[in-house]
Structure 1
Amino acid sequence: MFEAKRLHPAAIIFNLIRTVKEFLFAIILGFITFRDESLLYFALILAGLVIIFIATSILTWYRYTYRIEDDELRIEYGVFIRKKRFISKNRIQSIDLTSGVIHRIFKLTKVEIETAGSGMSAEASLSAVKLAEGEALRTELKASGVQQQADDEEYHEEPAEQTNPSTTISFKRLFIAGTTSGSIGVILALTAAGFSELEQFIPESFYDETLEWVIGLGIIILIVMVIFVLLLLWLLGIAGTMIKYGKFTITKNENELFITRGLLEKKQSTIPLKRIQAVGIQESVIRQPLGYVTVYAEIAGGSMDKGEDFSSILFPIMKQDEVEQFLETFLPDYAGIQHELTPLPKRARKFYIIRSSVLFLLIVAAAAIFLPSFVWIPILLLIASVFLGWLRHKDGGFNVEDQKLTIRHRVFSRNTIMLYHKRIQAFEKKQHKMHQLQSLASMTLSIVGRMGTGTHFTIKDLEESHTDELSDWYSRRN
């Protein structure tokens, strides 16, 4: 691959879309400002901008070339200022292939290359290459003797018959994942935000007439309409989850995990085993009573443009009693889940309940003074917050087994985290005055996370003696 190559011409479309996105807010603002008597001038300016955008997109595509030479990926780009980027094979951490709707129409893929120093975005991104070319690039860039040797030193190969285990999510499990995802709240918030932005474009007379019509409806009809809207949002949440995680497949290949997912946008992600800092099991409030969990991993390095927040989903949903077999197959070092943890002391329960409910207690007091007829609403929220505080205390705990630490905590979902001593970067013990009087303490563990920043796990209100024992374990003191 010594000959310099250009991206597929479809990259011009992606460049144009990206440029329009960057200027979209300015275009909308211009339309609002000049939509009356100056609309013609705005249309002429917009037409000129579109021509400039198209010309820039074509030049950007023409000036962008890539090749592999001397164990490096060499990229040259820039319309007026020529830039060169050399990425050594030995620095590459992962290579991901993503195929959106437009990509799949032309049988293309997007290649994203990440190194240990990747920041907010990937180290290099080839926006449109043929699928076969993308797979060949991934194979060639991963063929690094130095990197393979480093991997083999830390992880031992499995027997030949177990080298490529794989599992795929079933349609039934995918549907359950959608129905229990809890994404209705996110969709509702996005809908409200979108409506607030569009409200200024709605004629005031139409808005007033609609509001009067809604108020004139009977209470039963309003309740039915609300239920219908919530049902629609719930169905949209199911569809979104199924589109995102459709055909989710995880495969273990030598010293890495290979994940493929997505119906409309197909994503292929690679997770080197040596970058996994911790493995977590998440049980949401909805899924926990049904016995379903999500398995995820905290990954070191990488960028934030994958749309996966700071963690990588290893499997979106499975039964709790299936997790052990899953870990034995794909991550045997993390198998052996500890269910019996050292619990939090009973005297710590009041701190959890107070932290959870103090805000709602103040709201109840304010509502009792200014809106006494609606005080029942914050009272219900107060009761829910007290119950949440009780759950957080009940679920908190830890277990140490040689070099492996298991911790459990809850914000809304219950998370069980398993990590090894060598992955912990820092240990912090905290105590305030009330803690000292009660012989309690809080601890915070830090590991390397996305973009090289830290990911922190905190368990509050432990026995002080237990916190000291964990500190000694971390510091390797007897």
Structure 2
Amino acid sequence: MSEAKRLHPAAIIFNLIKTIREFLFAIILGFITFRDESLLYFILILAGLVVIFITSSVLTWYRYTYRVEDDELRIEYGVFIRKKRYISKNRIQSIDLTSGVIHRIFKLTKVQIETAGSGTDAEASLSAVKLAEGEALRQELKSRSLESAGDDEFADETAETSNPSSTIRFKRLFLAGTTSGSIGVIMALAATAFSQVEQFIPEQFYESSVQWLIGLGIIIIAVMTIVGLLLLWLFGIAGTIIKYGNFTITGNEHELFITRGLLEKKQVTIPLKRIQAVGIQESIIRQPLGFVTVYAEVAGGSMRKGEDFSSILFPIMKRDEVEDFLQTFLPAYAGLQRELRPLPKRARKFYIMRSSILFLLATVAVGIFFPSFIWAPLVLLAGSVFLGWLRHKDGGFRVQGRRLTIRHRLFSRNTIMIFHKRIQAFEEKQHKVQKLQRLETMRLSIVGTMGAGTHFTMKDLEESHTDELSDWYSHRSQ
């Protein structure tokens, strides 16, 4: 691979799509502005822009080359200003392969290379190479970095295993879709899209549609609403199946390798030495059913890795299967602590108060000005009180040697396991009311995505417990 290579010609298409996406808002705005008298001028300008976009995409592809030389990935690019980027193998944290629909048609893949200093984007991205070349490039770049990997507890404990693998079944995947709670996200996106599309609908057509809906009657509108929510729920299920279809996780001595996706196939590499914490998430819907999601907080990398701020290690499994999963893929985190030291009972009132104060004020306001609608804020108030009670009930921690397990809840219940050396900062806080109640707030910080901090906060712990944790963190207890 020491000879300079160009990307596959399909990269021209991806460059063109990227450019059009960047100018799409300006194109739409221009169409709205000139759609009446000056539509011909707009079409001529648009045709000229398309020619410029195509020419720029071809030149960008032609001037982009890459090669591996002297234990470095060397990339040269730029049409008018020539730029060179050298990435040492030792700096590479992960190499991911992604194949979208167009990639899979041409048997191509996109190679994304991330280092500890990657920002919102990957350190280097080869938008279109042949699948065999992408896999060969990944093996070439990993060959040196793996030699120096494994300076912590993972290397010794995983060396004896022979690449264990686990795949999600379709039944579980369908269940993950039905309980994902993505309907709320889809409804928000649909509402946003409708608010933007509304301005393009002719006013006469819009008013006649509103009058037609009003004339249908309450029952028919209710039925249409239920059907619409059902469709959104089905879209959420389909989205989960498309995203996590063919999900497979494979482990080896130094890393976890995850493959997933039906339309867009992603191959994600997670180095074990970059894992800062492992979490188990139980949503309000899944918890009564006994299902959880296992995820990891990974240091470095880019925000466009595809999992927001955390990496999903397994989308859904039974709660009693977690221990075997950890023993197989992350034995250092095995020995899950189910019985944690709970929060003090006198802290319950603070959790309920924080959760319900806004709804309590809303209930008072509605009761004064709109008493006939008092039932609505009362329902929300009852729900918020229950949520505050759950947050207090589920909170807790336990120290086990070098490992700390904490559990907290916002809406979903999260159990986080962190090793002592992964904690970057430990902070204690106590306001005057807490001091009277002998309570304190604890905050832990670890390295997260983009090298930024990820924080875990537990409020209203027993004062003696936070002192104990502070001693554990500072080694004073030893």
Asked if TM exceeds 0.5, the reply is yes
Letter matched to residue 116 of structure 2:
A
What is the CA–CA distance in structure 1 between the aligned matches of 2:139 and 2:18, rounded to whole Å?
A: 28
CA deviation map 1:248-300 (0-9, x unaligned) = 00000221000000000000000000000000000000000000000000000
After superposing on structure 2, the runs of 4+ consecutive aligned residues of structure 1 that deviate more than 6 Å are none
- 1:29 match: 29
**Structure 1's 153 and 289: CA in aligned 2 closer, same or farther, altered over 3 A?**
closer
CA deviation map 1:144-167 (0-9, x unaligned) = 0x6423426654356877221000
Letter matched to residue 291 of structure 2:
Y
Letter matched to residue 228 of structure 1:
V
CA deviation map 1:330-376 (0-9, x unaligned) = 00000001111110011111111111111111222222233332221
What is the CA–CA distance in structure 2 between the aligned matches of 1:9 and 1:295, rounded to whole Å?
A: 39
CA deviation map 1:143-198 (0-9, x unaligned) = 10x64234266543568772210000001000000010000000000000000000
| Contact persistence 2:153–2:332 (CA under 8 A) | no
| Contact persistence 2:159–2:252 (CA under 8 A) | no
- 1:61 match: 61
What is the CA–CA distance in structure 1 between the aligned matches of 2:37 and 2:28, rounded to whole Å?
A: 16
1:461 aligns with 2:457: no
SS in 1 for 2:312: strand
| Contact persistence 2:158–2:253 (CA under 8 A) | no
- 1:337 match: 336
SS in 2 for 1:452: coil
1:78 aligns with 2:84: no
What is the CA–CA distance in structure 1 between the aligned matches of 2:154 and 2:354, rounded to whole Å?
A: 43
- What displacement does 1:211 show? 1.0
What is the CA–CA distance in structure 2 between the aligned matches of 1:447 and 1:411, rounded to whole Å?
A: 19
Between stretches 312-321 and 301-310, larger displacement belongs to 301-310
CA deviation map 1:201-224 (0-9, x unaligned) = 111111111111111122221211
- What displacement does 1:393 show? 0.4
Map 1:237-316 to 2 at 5 A.
Answer: 237-316=236-315
Letter matched to residue 41 of structure 2:
Y
CA deviation map 1:406-454 (0-9, x unaligned) = 0000000000000100000000111111001111000000000001100
What is the CA–CA distance in structure 2 between the aligned matches of 1:372 and 1:209, rounded to whole Å?
A: 34
- 1:447 match: 446
- 1:378 match: 377
Between stretches 348-357 and 321-330, larger displacement belongs to 348-357
SS in 2 for 1:460: strand
What is the CA–CA distance in structure 1 between the aligned matches of 2:216 and 2:432, rounded to whole Å?
A: 57
Letter matched to residue 33 of structure 2:
T
**Structure 1's 239 and 352: CA in aligned 2 closer, same or farther, altered over 3 A?**
same
- 1:142 match: 142
CA deviation map 1:304-343 (0-9, x unaligned) = 0122111000000000000000000000000001111110
**Structure 1's 160 and 357: CA in aligned 2 closer, same or farther, altered over 3 A?**
closer
**Structure 1's 373 and 385: CA in aligned 2 closer, same or farther, altered over 3 A?**
same
What is the CA–CA distance in structure 1 between the aligned matches of 2:243 and 2:174, rounded to whole Å?
A: 12
What is the CA–CA distance in structure 2 between the aligned matches of 1:79 and 1:128, rounded to whole Å?
A: 18
Letter matched to residue 56 of structure 2:
T
- What displacement does 1:383 show? 0.7
Letter matched to residue 179 of structure 1:
T
Between stretches 113-122 and 203-212, larger displacement belongs to 203-212
Map 1:222-233 to 2 at 5 A.
Answer: 222-233=221-232
1:106 aligns with 2:82: no
What is the CA–CA distance in structure 2 between the aligned matches of 1:86 and 1:234, rounded to whole Å?
A: 47
| Contact persistence 2:8–2:129 (CA under 8 A) | yes
- 2:474 match: 475
**Seq. identity, %:** 79
Gaps in structure 1 of 5+ consecutive residues? none
- 2:90 match: 90
What is the CA–CA distance in structure 2 between the aligned matches of 1:159 and 1:301, rounded to whole Å?
A: 22
SS in 1 for 2:450: helix
Letter matched to residue 2 of structure 1:
S
- 1:408 match: 407
Q: Output the TM-score relative to the length of structure 2.
A: 0.98
1:208 aligns with 2:210: no
Between stretches 115-124 and 372-381, larger displacement belongs to 372-381
What is the CA–CA distance in structure 1 between the aligned matches of 2:368 and 2:359, rounded to whole Å?
A: 14
What is the CA–CA distance in structure 1 between the aligned matches of 2:159 and 2:301, rounded to whole Å?
A: 30
What is the CA–CA distance in structure 1 between the aligned matches of 2:157 and 2:135, rounded to whole Å?
A: 25
Between stretches 233-242 and 303-312, larger displacement belongs to 303-312
Letter matched to residue 69 of structure 2:
E
- 2:131 match: 131
Gaps in structure 2 of 5+ consecutive residues? none
- 2:9 match: 9
- 2:349 match: 350
**Structure 1's 161 and 337: CA in aligned 2 closer, same or farther, altered over 3 A?**
closer
Letter matched to residue 234 of structure 1:
W
What is the CA–CA distance in structure 2 between the aligned matches of 1:156 and 1:374, rounded to whole Å?
A: 62
What is the CA–CA distance in structure 1 between the aligned matches of 2:159 and 2:401, rounded to whole Å?
A: 29
**Structure 1's 85 and 465: CA in aligned 2 closer, same or farther, altered over 3 A?**
same
- 2:117 match: 117
Q: Tell me how many residue pairs correspond in the alignment.
A: 477
Letter matched to residue 180 of structure 1:
T
What is the CA–CA distance in structure 2 between the aligned matches of 1:347 and 1:87, rounded to whole Å?
A: 55
SS in 2 for 1:143: helix
**Structure 1's 397 and 160: CA in aligned 2 closer, same or farther, altered over 3 A?**
closer
**Structure 1's 159 and 435: CA in aligned 2 closer, same or farther, altered over 3 A?**
closer
SS in 2 for 1:450: coil
SS in 2 for 1:93: strand
Between stretches 341-350 and 28-37, larger displacement belongs to 28-37
What is the CA–CA distance in structure 1 between the aligned matches of 2:193 and 2:96, rounded to whole Å?
A: 32
| Contact persistence 2:256–2:270 (CA under 8 A) | yes
| Contact persistence 2:406–2:415 (CA under 8 A) | yes
